[in-house]
Amino acid sequence: MSLKKTKAIFLDRDGIINDDSGYVSKIEDFKFTKGIFKTLLALQDKGYLLIIVTNQSGIARGYYSEEAYMNLTLYMVEEFKKRGITIASVYHCPHGPDDDCKCRKPRAGMLKAAQKQFRVQMKDSWMIGDKESDMLAAKSAGIKQRLLVSKEQGESATHHVNSVGKVLEVIG
């Protein structure tokens, strides 16, 4: 492995990678967001490592199992791979909002784990998320560029667009 530090795009899953229809755990319910393949391919071509960081409290709540989550994650990663997109890693927090863990966003545990594993240069990286908790986790991890994909403005975001299809207008 190279000792060179790299730049990354950190992506939330629900609402960014797939339509957020609430506790998605089955392949048949997983719908990729419009423009996500084109967007990630372009970002990958710009030299960014693609890393997904996702809260999955549905596991702690008993809505679905860790195995169901892993099966869906494998499907998602394979669909990207079929289109020439490499997801470097997927980090998830299986804990609920009342659990005192270090990984659940808005805490930065997942981002810091990825930073260490891949030698990510946080100041050259981006977080793309649809919730303020994504922006807060990124800010806490030292990510300077934080893109909120939402109809609402976020206090901790440095950039804002209303759809995944517009991400390249900002990062492009």
- What is residue 139's three-state secondary structure? helix
The CATH number given to 8-171 is 3.40.50.1000
Active site residue 98: no
Q: φ and ψ at 17, to 5 degrees?
A: -75, -45
Q: What is the pLDDT of residue 153?
A: 83
Q: What is the pLDDT of residue 121?
A: 97
Q: What is the pLDDT of residue 172?
A: 74
| Catalytic member of 14, 45, 98, 130 | 14
- With beta carbons less than 8 A apart as the criterion, state whether 96 and 61 touch: yes
Mean pLDDT taken over the chain: 96
The Cα 118–Cα 121 span in angstroms is 9
Name the pTM for this structure: 0.95
The Cα 1–Cα 59 span in angstroms is 33
Q: What is the pLDDT of residue 2?
A: 47
- With beta carbons less than 8 A apart as the criterion, state whether 47 and 89 touch: no
Q: Answer yes or no: is pLDDT of 1 > 50.
A: no
Tokens, residue 5: 């530090």
Q: What is the pLDDT of residue 89?
A: 98
Polymer length of the chain: 172
Q: What is the pLDDT of residue 3?
A: 56
Q: Which tens digit of pLDDT belongs to each residue from 41-97?
A: 999 999 999 999 999 999 999 999 999 999 999 999 999 999 999 999 999 999 999
| Of 92, 81, 94, 100, the residue nearest 41 (C-alpha) | 81
Q: Which tens digit of pLDDT belongs to each residue from 103-125?
A: 999 999 999 999 999 999 999 99
Active site residue 130: no
**How far is residue 73 CA from its own chain's centroid?**
12
How does DSSP assign 24-74, residue by residue? --SGGG--BPTTHHHHHHHHHHTTPEEEEEEE-HHHHTTSS-HHHHHHHHH
